């Protein structure tokens, strides 16, 4: 605490002294929801009044203005709706704040203090409100407008911001605290509420002055559904802290908009439980698109300050902390992928930290330990969360000038297109060659329009995604040539001379094979919207397009019916949007034909319906030719023993899906009317009782099968569906791979890249089995995939040229597609979704069940 001003130290001590949230009666323990992989380690898987978070604010950001037309002052107080008491809320047993208690507590604070503003920034998957609490000294509207102008200037014209003395003196330091993103890691919420209460009610001069020069933002619970249920995941089964580069979930989109709108210089993401408090910065490999010199020179001393703050609590359990950068081996706790909240925030201009409070109270401990011990542990954890929040606020206030200057410098380098800085050994204690990760940014990316674009719908989705993440995209007003290619007017240009170039590159680049650099990775190490989202994206390494452009707020419409009136309509299933369109037409009662190449044909009489679907989904219908032939396509019904991410995508694609498992099938008949069985998780053929196995056999005789991963491969072998032997690659291997496509439902029209996590390949193919897709001669493009160090098996060299996806009709007469890749992983590789859709339609039709 000696590093902070004495008065501020006194204020922060006040927050320690506040009592913890009152305990409530412990209810009976409901079952904890299942996750894809148990354990505390990595897992696979609008009443908003704050102006910058509004729809107008989002559109303005897309134009590079980061500001709506009208700005309110502070406080911006909202009468929050109060939820009924829920005695099953899992936080109650721990003596922590139940979700239904948060709104009353915040309503009370707003009534008592003009320093507190609470706004609703969205809803969770199950419809619970997400709160943003802002603590700052009151501002009239003119003062708030000035703050917003300065914030825009920092990003839009950092050179001018660096020269602006009034900005340096008057800009309020923004700090963002995110709590409870994992629902069963509760205490970040309670620590945040403790600090908010202290700041709101303290009467000393130090607090007043702190809030006159700071804006402190708190998303007090990022995952209310998980908080109530006591699950790591949200209501859709997603780990939100793996979703930031994909933004498939409303909770991650809400905090994405918070970090863009508030532009914090420091942020904390409060988690648990690691035994010893863990405070980032992380180990290598460090994200190669960071300006790491600007990050680590604040992240490391801030972590040391947080470590000192928890030691000062006096608990034996908080005497020390683990700082992975200092204490762990490379790859043990890395910051490589932008899927985590703090890593994503670094690209948005923040010094981001994960904090893991120490004492486990979830999962097995929740059910086995006495209530008294659980509450003792959660009390220590709340102390730790509050202490790290206080320390981070103190660091941000003490070092506000340097933090602001470095955020300005980050954006200046982006606009100028300057190279990343060389970070010398010892730059901070312990920095060495193992920490040095850099890249050379390309000059521009082009997402072409016209005939050179594989999927206009995918291109529009990618552009809208970039804009939503505050990446600046422009649209060409004329044809142009760059990097040896001509592009038509209407093509999109991502000029890499922009403030958030690191994020733009992290999204669009292919990535890097880091297999030889670290022995293992904490989570995924490869991703690429440029290669996996289904759009054609070109890289201009050195040359900027010379063409007049306009700023993009939203991608141009791509849908339409291009066939002449009176012609039947053809739809090629290139993208997941095309699959959605087929299901939408079937839902509307349109009679469709499926041709041998997978193309779907609608009659000319359905033109009006097709036009409405095309406008809504951005797909394009062309002429089907004269007298089209094909099998009638009925909408298949799926029984899916799958992970939560796969279930989410299958339903998003518009399929009728019935979740099943070994247990549900053994409980009684469940497959009546089902056309396709999708198996990737939770279903064992040998574990079925005789009645359930008979029902599955009946489905195999009349319907189709799709499998993915080790569980699917075991089902295929046990049930004798297709004669194909699955070979497992290394279980922690993951990343973007090159593939060569054959024919078949999964290979026809598929992109030349795919995604793997614990990859499989298929050998010893029997009669009737075709290879839809093979791993390329050098499979791994980006990620981490090594052979087993003991026997040399399971690596990419062994997978090279092997079958990654196979299809066929087996001895039972079952049409099946077996995936060794991960086409639906965390709802991320959107360009692969059509493979699955085509496979579903083909397996249903191939066995005679789907027409």
Residue 207's pLDDT is 97
- Does the annotation mark 43 as catalytic? no
What residue has token string 């097995």?
364
Q: Are 280 and 307 in contact (CB under 8 A)?
A: no
Residue 70's pLDDT is 66
Helices 292-311 and 400-416, packing angle to 10 deg? 160
**Assigned token pair, 810:** 């087996």
Catalytic residue among 270, 280, 307, 356: 356
Residue 46's pLDDT is 27
**Whole-number Å distance between alpha carbons of 107 and 118:** 8
Which residues, in sequence order, are CB contacts of 36 under 8 Å at separation 6+?
Answer: 43, 44, 45, 237, 643, 644, 645, 681
Residue 727's pLDDT is 98
List the beta bridge partners of residue 177: 218, 268
pLDDT along the chain (851 residues), means of 10: 35 37 31 29 29 44 45 93 98 98 98 98 98 98 98 98 98 98 98 98 97 98 98 98 98 98 98 98 98 98 98 97 98 98 98 98 98 98 98 98 98 98 98 98 98 97 98 98 97 98 98 97 97 98 97 97 96 98 98 94 98 98 91 96 98 98 97 98 98 98 97 98 98 97 96 98 97 98 96 96 98 97 98 98 71 33
Q: Are 186 and 179 in contact (CB under 8 A)?
A: no
Q: In 653-778, where does DSSP find H-type helix?
A: 662-667, 690-702, 709-719, 744-747
User: Can you list the domains of the chain with their CATH numbers?
Assistant: 6-30+61-415 (3.40.630.10), 444-551 (no CATH), 560-633 (3.30.70), 637-846 (3.40.50.880)
Q: Is the dihedral of CA 643, 826, 66, 404 positive or negative?
A: positive
**Assigned token pair, 281:** 């910065």
Residue 15's pLDDT is 38
**Assigned token pair, 501:** 């170039």
Q: What is the pLDDT of residues 727-743, one digit of tens each?
A: 999 999 999 999 999 99
Burial of residue 677 (CB within 10 Å: 0-12, 13-18, 19+) is: buried
Q: Name the phi and psi angles at 234, rounded to 5.
A: -85, -170
What residue has token string 């929740």?
366
Q: Which of 300, 289, 297, 281 is nearest to 245 (CA)?
A: 289
**Assigned token pair, 734:** 């993951």
Q: Which of 146, 148, 125, 130 is nearest to 78 (CA)?
A: 130
Q: How many residues does the chain have?
A: 851
Q: Are 761 and 751 in contact (CB under 8 A)?
A: no
- Widest pairwise Cα distance in the chain: 85
Residue 60's pLDDT is 43
Residue 626's pLDDT is 85
């Amino acid at each position: 605490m000696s590093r902070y001003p004495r008065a501020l130290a006194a204020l922060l001590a006040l927050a320690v002294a506040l009592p913890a949230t009152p305990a409530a009666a412990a209810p009976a323990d409901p079952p904890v929801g299942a996750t894809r992989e148990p354990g505390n380690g990595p897992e696979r898987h609008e009443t908003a009044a704050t102006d910058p978070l509004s729809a107008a604010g989002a559109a303005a950001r897309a134009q590079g203005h980061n500001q709506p037309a009208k700005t309110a002052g502070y406080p911006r107080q909202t009468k929050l709706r109060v939820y009924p008491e829920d005695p099953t809320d899992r936080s109650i047993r721990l003596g922590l704040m139940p979700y239904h208690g948060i709104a009353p507590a915040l309503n009370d604070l707003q009534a008592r203090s003009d320093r507190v503003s609470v706004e609703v920034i969205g809803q969770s998957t199950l419809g619970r409100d997400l709160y943003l609490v802002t603590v700052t000294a009151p501002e009239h509207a003119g003062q708030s407008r000035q703050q917003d102008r300065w914030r825009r200037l920092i990003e839009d014209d950092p050179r001018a911001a660096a020269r602006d003395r009034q900005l340096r003196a008057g800009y309020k330091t923004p700090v963002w605290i995110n709590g409870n993103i994992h629902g069963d890691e509760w205490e970040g919420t309670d620590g945040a509420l403790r600090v908010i209460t202290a700041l709101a009610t303290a009467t000393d001069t130090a607090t007043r002055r702190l809030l006159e020069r700071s804006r402190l933002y708190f998303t007090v619970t990022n995952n209310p559904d998980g908080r109530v249920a006591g699950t790591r995941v949200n209501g859709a089964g997603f780990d939100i802290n793996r979703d930031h580069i994909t933004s498939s979930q409303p909770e991650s989109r809400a905090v994405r908009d918070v970090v863009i709108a508030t532009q914090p210089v420091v942020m904390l993401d409060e988690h648990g439980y690691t035994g010893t408090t863990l405070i980032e910065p992380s180990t290598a490999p460090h994200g190669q698109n960071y300006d790491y010199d600007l990050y680590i020179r604040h992240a490391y001393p801030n972590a040391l300050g947080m470590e000192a703050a928890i030691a000062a609590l006096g608990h034996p359990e908080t005497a020390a902390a683990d700082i992975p950068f200092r204490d762990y081996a490379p790859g043990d706790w890395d910051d490589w992928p932008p899927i985590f909240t703090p890593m994503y925030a670094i690209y948005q201009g923040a010094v981001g930290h994960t904090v893991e409070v120490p004492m486990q109270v979830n999962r097995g401990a929740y059910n086995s330990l006495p209530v008294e011990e659980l509450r003792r542990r959660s009390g220590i954890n709340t102390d730790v969360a509050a202490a790290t929040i206080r320390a981070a606020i103190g660091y941000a206030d003490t070092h506000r000038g340097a933090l602001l200057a470095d955020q300005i410098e980050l954006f200046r380098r982006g606009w100028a297109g300057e190279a990343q800085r060389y970070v010398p050994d010892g730059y901070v204690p312990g920095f060495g060659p193992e920490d040095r990760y850099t890249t050379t940014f390309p000059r521009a990316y082009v997402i072409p329009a016209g005939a050179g674009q594989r999927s206009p719908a995918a291109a529009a989705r990618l552009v809208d995604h970039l804009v939503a993440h505050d990446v600046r995209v422009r649209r060409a007003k004329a044809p142009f040539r760059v990097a040896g290619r001509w592009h038509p007017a209407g093509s999109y240009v991502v000029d890499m001379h922009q403030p958030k170039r690191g994020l733009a590159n992290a999204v669009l680049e292919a990535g890097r094979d880091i297999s030889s650099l670290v022995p293992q990775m904490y989570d995924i190490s490869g991703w690429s919207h440029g290669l996996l989202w289904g759009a054609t994206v070109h890289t201009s390494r050195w040359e900027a397009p010379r063409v007049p452009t306009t700023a993009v707020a939203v991608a141009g419409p791509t849908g339409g019916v291009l066939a002449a009136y009176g012609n039947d309509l053809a739809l090629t299933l290139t993208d997941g949007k095309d699959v959605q369109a087929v299901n939408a037409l079937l839902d509307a009662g349109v009679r469709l034909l499926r041709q041998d190449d997978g193309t779907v044909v609608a009659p000319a009489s359905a033109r009006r319906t097709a036009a409405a679907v095309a406008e809504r989904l951005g797909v394009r219908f062309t002429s089907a030719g004269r007298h089209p032939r094909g099998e009638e396509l009925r909408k298949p019904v799926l029984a899916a023993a799958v992970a939560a991410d796969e279930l989410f995508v299958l339903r998003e694609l518009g399929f009728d899906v019935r979740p099943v498992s070994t247990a549900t099938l053994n409980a009684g008949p469940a497959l009546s009317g089902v056309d396709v069985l999708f198996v990737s998780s939770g279903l064992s053929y040998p574990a079925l009782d005789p009645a359930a196995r008979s029902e599955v056999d009946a489905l195999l005789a009349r319907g189709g099968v799709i499998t993915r991963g080790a569980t699917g491969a075991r089902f295929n072998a046990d049930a004798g569906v297709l004669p194909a032997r699955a070979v497992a690659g290394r279980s922690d291997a993951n990343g973007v791979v090159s593939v060569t496509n054959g024919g078949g439902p999964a290979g026809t029209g598929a992109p030349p890249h795919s995604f793997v996590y614990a990859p499989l390949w298929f050998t010893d193919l029997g009669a009737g089995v075709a290879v839809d897709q093979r791993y390329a001669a050098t499979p791994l493009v980006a990620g981490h995939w090594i052979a087993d160090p003991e026997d040399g098996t399971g690596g990419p060299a062994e997978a090279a040229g092997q079958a990654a996806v196979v299809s066929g009709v087996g001895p039972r007469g079952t049409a099946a597609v077996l995936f060794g890749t991960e086409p639906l992983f965390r709802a991320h590789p959107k360009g692969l979704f059509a493979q699955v859709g085509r496979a579903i339609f083909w397996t249903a039709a191939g066995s005679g069940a789907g027409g």
